């Protein structure tokens, strides 16, 4: 187990170095594409939007939860998302919201365990969530623009659900020049403000580019579930390796439920012989300002204890195979520090 913890520390270190080295690239991207891009997505580790869309790390701000299940009625989420929108507005910018579900064309069991592999259910759920965002910010508002996107994880293909009812599978798009992609975005989303169209374009184009590139890690992504890390909290952009971790965001008021489900998925991985017995609980919180570090530590420690208690209550047989750690992550460098 020690070696598994070391593996996580090393993985974070590598990601942090990459994140820091991309700072100029990120700043340049933001200068060219100022729209605030937020993504709601499943905790499944195989969904890594910067890779899928070839955007620098840190451009797309993710919210993660089991199955990509969210409700803006959740008080914490409501406040956090609204703050993200407000910060963008203060900079004079709009917000593009990618509301995502995921599936695998090759094997239903590489699909979303958070929805018991039922793709239609997850699609319906995420469409309703998109509608909730529209309801809150206004149907025809030009500031917060949600789009429904499917992610096919065998090939990392985006499926765009147009507001005109049309569905475009990016795997089947032939034309790659920018002008025709812009026309396609306008056709799918007739009310999308021009600024957002321009900033949605590189995301779509990045997806097409990566489809054209043969990627070595693909084979790894073909595996069915084999996760052994239960990650709870925020700051997990570095944990995107397929089949490594299940990530539970801190927003669900019934956070015990997704923690329990995720622990159950890891236990099933043992039972099906996909991994050896072992689970690492990784509780994490993020701070942007060093002055907030002590508060942040308390959040991480609280979530660590909560997760341990939930596992002990629901799966007492897992306890002897459980290791847990609490960490805080510096938002400016994405470097984590183990605190407990």
Of 19 and 103, which has the nearer Cβ to Zn ion?
A: 103
Torsion of CA 122, 124, 127, 131, to 10 degrees: -130
Q: Between 67 and 202, name the residue whose CB sits nearer to Zn ion.
A: 67
**C-beta of 43: minimal distance to Zn ion in Å?**
7
CB 221 within 8 A of CB 153: yes
Residue 114 binds to Zn ion (criterion: CB under 5 A): yes
Among 35, 44, 45, 336, binds Zn ion (CB under 5 A): 44
Closest distance to Zn ion from the beta carbon of 114 (Å) = 4
Helix pair angle (293-314, 256-271), 10° resolution? 60
Residue 42 binds to Zn ion (criterion: CB under 5 A) = yes
Residue 300 in contact with Zn ion, rule: CB under 5 A: no
What DSSP string runs through 213-277?
Answer: S--TTHHHHTS-----EEEEES--TT--STTTEEEE-S--TTTHHHHHHHHHHHHHHHHTTSS-S
Stretch near Zn ion under the rule CB under 5 A, chosen from 74-82, 110-118, 172-180, 265-273: 110-118
Q: Which residues contact 94 (CB under 8 A, 6 or more apart)?
A: 35, 36, 88, 142, 143, 144, 145, 193, 195, 196
The answer to whether 98 contacts Zn ion (rule: CB under 5 A) is no
Q: Does 249 bind Zn ion (CB under 5 A)?
A: no
Nearest CB to Zn ion, comparing residues 185 and 245: 245
Count of residues of this chain found to bind Zn ion when the rule CB under 5 A is applied? 4
Q: Are 287 and 328 in contact (CB under 8 A)?
A: yes
Which residue, 236 or 287, has its beta carbon nearer to Zn ion? 236
Chain position carrying tokens 């043992």? 270
Q: In which region does residue 156 sit, left (phi positive, over 0), alpha (psi from -120 to 50) or beta (all else)? A: left
Binding-site member from 39, 85, 112, 144 for Zn ion (CB under 5 A): 112
Q: Taking CB under 5 A as the rule, does residue 242 contact Zn ion?
A: no
By beta-carbon proximity to Zn ion, the closer residue of 23 and 105 is: 105
**Interacting stretch for Zn ion, rule CB under 5 A, among 108-116, 157-165, 234-242, 260-268?**
108-116
Beta-ladder partners of 160: 149, 168
Site membership for Zn ion, residue 259 (CB under 5 A): no
Q: Which is nearer to Zn ion, 246 or 283 (CB)?
A: 246
**Looking at residue 306, what DSSP letter applies?**
H
**Contacting positions for Zn ion (CB under 5 A):** 42, 44, 112, 114
């Amino acid at each position: 187990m020690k070696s598994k913890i070391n593996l996580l520390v090393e993985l974070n270190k590598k990601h942090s170095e990459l994140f820091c080295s991309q700072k100029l690239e990120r700043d340049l991207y933001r200068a060219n594409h100022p729209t605030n891009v937020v993504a709601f997505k499943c905790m499944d580790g195989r969904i890594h939007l910067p890779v899928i869309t070839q955007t620098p790390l840190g451009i797309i701000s993710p919210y993660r939860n089991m199955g990509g299940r969210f409700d803006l009625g959740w008080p914490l989420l409501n406040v956090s998302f609204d703050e993200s929108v407000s910060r963008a507005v203060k900079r004079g910018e709009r917000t593009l919201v990618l509301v995502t579900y995921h599936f695998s064309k090759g094997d239903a069991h590489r699909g979303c365990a958070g929805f018991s592999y039922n793709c239609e259910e997850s699609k319906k759920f995420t469409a309703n969530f998109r509608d909730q965002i529209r309801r809150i910010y206004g149907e025809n508002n030009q500031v917060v623009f949600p789009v429904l996107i499917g992610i096919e994880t065998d090939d990392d293909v985006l499926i765009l659900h147009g507001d005109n009812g049309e569905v475009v599978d990016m795997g089947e798009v032939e034309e790659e020049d920018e002008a025709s992609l812009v026309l396609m975005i306008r056709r799918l989303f007739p009310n999308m403000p021009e600024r957002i169209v321009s900033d949605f374009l590189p995301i779509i184009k990045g997806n097409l580019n990566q489809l054209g590139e043969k990627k070595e890690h693909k084979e790894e992504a073909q595996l069915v579930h084999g996760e052994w890390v239960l990650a709870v909290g925020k700051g997990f952009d570095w944990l995107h390796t397929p089949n490594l971790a299940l990530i539970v965001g801190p927003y669900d008021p019934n956070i015990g439920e997704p923690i329990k489900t995720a622990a159950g998925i890891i236990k099933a991985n043992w039972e099906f012989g996909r991994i050896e017995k072992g689970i690492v609980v990784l509780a994490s919180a993020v701070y942007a300002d060093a002055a907030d570090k002590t508060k942040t530590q308390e959040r991480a420690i609280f979530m660590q204890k909560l997760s341990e208690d939930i596992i002990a209550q629901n799966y007492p047989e897992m306890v002897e195979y459980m290791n847990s750690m609490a960490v805080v992550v510096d938002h400016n460098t994405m470097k984590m520090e183990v605190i407990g």
